[in-house]
Amino acid sequence: MQCHIGWLFPGQRARSSYQEIVDCYNASGGYDYLLKIIAPTISMFQDLMEDDIGIEKFASRIVLRQPYPQRGEPLNVIAHGVASWK
């Protein structure tokens, strides 16, 4: 998924200027956008968030580990509209 910064995310230069922003989602809930940011250190992440990238208020979560590898899309479920556990 690509974040189309020009019309979706207020910080129009963020995606092209910051390689650390790897995904962007328009989400429901308490915040409008969910960004996936990869930074090698907490201080680099903090520096990015304090820069003027168009984010007024944010909450962050740090991934500690990945219990199992990311799967691909459930193409069979999508194609047939049937839950995989049935």
Q: Decide: residue 45, CB within 10 A, 0-12 exposed, 13-18 middle, 19+ buried.
A: middle
Question: Residue 29: pLDDT band by 50, 70, 90 thresholds?
Answer: confident
Q: Is residue 66 a contact partner of residue 36, using CB atoms and an 8 Å limit? A: no
What's the pLDDT score for residue 24?
82
pLDDT, residue 15, reads: 61
Please classify residue 20 by burial: count the beta carbons closer than 10 Å to its beta carbon, then call 0-12 exposed, 13-18 middle and 19+ buried: middle
Say what the pTM is. Answer: 0.63
Tell whether the model's pLDDT for residue 14 goes beyond 70: no
pLDDT of 60 > 50? The answer is: yes
- Chosen CATH of 14-80 out of 1.10.287, 3.40.50, 1.10.10, 3.30.70: 3.30.70
Domain locations in the chain as residue ranges: 14-80
